[in-house]
Amino acid sequence: MVTLVLLGTLAVLILANIPISVALGLSSAVTLLYTGFPLTSIPSILQATVQKFSLLTIPLFVLAGAIMDKGGISKRLINLANSMIGPVHGGLGYVSVVAAMFFAAISGSGTATVAAMGSILIPAMIKQKYDPAFASALSAISGSLGTVIPPSITFIIYGMITGESISNLFLSGIIPGCIFALMLCVTVFIKATKNGWKSEEARATGKEIWKCFADAFWGLMSPVIVLGGIYSGIFTPTEAASVAVIYSVFVGVVIYRELTVDMLRKALFETSKTTGIILLIIMNAGVFSWVLTQQGIAAQLTELALSLTTNKYIMLIVINIIFLIAGCVMDNTSAMYILVPIIMPIAQALGINMVHLGVIIVLNLSIGQVTPPVGPNLYVAADIGQVKFEEICAKMAPLIVMSLVALLIVTYVPFLSLALIH
Flag whether 331 is in a domain.
Answer: yes
Flag whether 312 is in a domain.
Answer: yes
Who contacts 236 (Cβ-Cβ below 8 Å, separation ≥6)? 230
Flag whether 33 is in a domain.
Answer: no
pLDDT at 420: 86
Flag whether 2 is in a domain.
Answer: no
Flag whether 20 is in a domain.
Answer: no
Q: How many domains does the chain divide into?
A: 1
In the chain, what is the greatest distance between 2 CA atoms, to the nearest angstrom? 73
Which has the closest alpha carbon to 367: 356, 379, 355, 378? 378
Residue 390: give the domain boundaries. Answer: 38-418
Q: Can you spell out the DSSP letters for 367-399?
A: HHTTSTTT-HHHHHHHHHHT--HHHHHHHHHHH
154-212 per-position pLDDT tens digit: 888 899 888 898 889 988 999 999 999 999 999 988 888 888 777 666 677 888 889 88
Q: Is the pLDDT of residue 266 over 80?
A: yes
Which has the closest alpha carbon to 360: 319, 303, 306, 315? 319
- From CA 18, how far away is CA 275, in angstroms rounded? 20
Q: Is the pLDDT of residue 141 over 80?
A: yes
Least-confidence region, from 34-38, 357-361, 385-389: 34-38
- From CA 339, how far away is CA 122, in angstroms rounded? 35
47-104 per-position pLDDT tens digit: 777 777 767 777 888 888 788 778 877 778 777 877 777 667 777 888 888 888 877 7
Cβ contact 374:188 at 8 Å: no
User: What is the pTM assigned to this prediction?
Assistant: 0.81
pLDDT at 353: 93
Flag whether 12 is in a domain.
Answer: no
Res. 407 pLDDT band, cuts 50 70 90: very high
Flag whether 326 is in a domain.
Answer: yes
Q: Is the pLDDT of residue 150 over 90?
A: no
Flag whether 4 is in a domain.
Answer: no
- From CA 415, how far away is CA 418, in angstroms rounded? 5
Query: Helix 206-231 to helix 73-85 angle, to the nearest 10 degrees?
Result: 130
pLDDT at 415: 93
